[in-house]
Amino acid sequence: MNMVFLIVSLIAFHVAAIFMPKRITWLDIWCIALFSIVVESFSNMALDLKLNLYGYIAPGNQWSGFLPIFLYPPVNAIYLNYFPFAKTNSRKAAYILAWTAFCLVYEVAALESGFFYYLKWKLWYSALCYPVLLLLVLGSFKFTRWLQRRAG
């Protein structure tokens, strides 16, 4: 069951990201994909492999545990594509909180499916981390746009 949920998730998120009406450029999507993979890789090295707080598929290092890294690029592209840039700060905060809720629900589903497991991690840690991570994704996007404007 764990690999089925993971593979269906990978396909669904990638298809949604590819076929959504684009409000951001392919360069933005590429940059956020690379940022997502780097942040996820470093997070997993520290929190999974070094501190042993959680993990994917089974304890230890295995190739199938590498697949969840590819969940983050399309999800972050969708998040940024529909971000309410021109709206009020309270609307932006509500959007981030809604995405945090989505991430938490997805995490619980991943736990139930067995492709993700906790050792010392708690769901409320994720509830604190997701808004910060979503703001980092937004910051990376804004930095990419700033670099594009400077380049001419």
Give the pLDDT band of residue 1 (cuts 50, 70, 90): low
Round the average pLDDT of the chain to a whole number and report it.
Answer: 93
Q: Which amino acid is at 46?
A: A
Q: Which two tokens stand for residue 29?
A: 């999507």
Tokens of 126: 């994720």
Q: What is the DSSP letter of 83?
A: -
Percent of the chain clearing pLDDT 90 (strictly above)? 81
pLDDT at site 45: 86
pLDDT in tens, 117-151: 999 999 999 999 999 999 999 999 999 999 999 99
**Residue 117 dihedral angles phi and psi, to the nearest 5°:** -140, 150
Reported as half-sphere exposure (CB side, CA atoms, 13 A), residue 83 has a value of: 20
Tally of structural domains, the chain: 1
User: 57 is written with which tokens?
Assistant: 């598929």
Could you list the residue range(s) of the whole structural domain that residue 117 is in? 2-17+26-151
